[in-house]
Amino acid sequence: MNRKKRINSFKAVLPSLGRNEAYCRNLAVAFLAQADPTVEEIADVKTVISEAVTNCIVHAYKNERDESKRKIYIEGVQFEDNTFRFTVKDKGCGIEDIKKAMEPLYTTDAESERSGMGLPIMQTFSDSFRIKSEVGKGTTVTFSKKVSGSDEG
């Protein structure tokens, strides 16, 4: 089994607040920047992180009144071949039917005029994409992006 060597990583835990969506997006892009990514690679990662974090904010904790339990867990790993793996996790309500949730235009929040495109968009802009969820326990989105730039860090 050929395992890629990790060369850098970060972890952060933030309150599930709308204002932290931009923070998470910028954190991921700052981490990615060390490998001199293209504008398109940056845009792809920004989009996926933004969608994943927004799902934590809008959907994961919709029934959780205790704000101390409403957390976003974000992690990034850089591998020696300039592949970056990002994980966005919540400990919220979970997704009942992932296959259904992956369908374009499906949303559990139609009242808020949600498009239901978040998960399909995340998959489209990722080199690899995985979602795991358990009702009542939370959801974990993991995706990777290989950066074509140089690694001088």
Active site residue 152: no
The active-site residue, picked from 21, 25, 41, 55, is 55
Q: Give burial (CB, 10 Å; 0-12/13-18/19+) of 60.
A: buried
Q: CA 149 → CA 40, 49, 142, distances in Å?
A: 11, 20, 22
The active-site residue, picked from 21, 41, 51, 75, is 51
71-79 β-sheet, strand order: 6-15, 71-79, 83-90, 138-146, 128-134
Active site residue 65: no
Active site residue 55: yes
What residues are annotated to the active site? 51, 55, 114
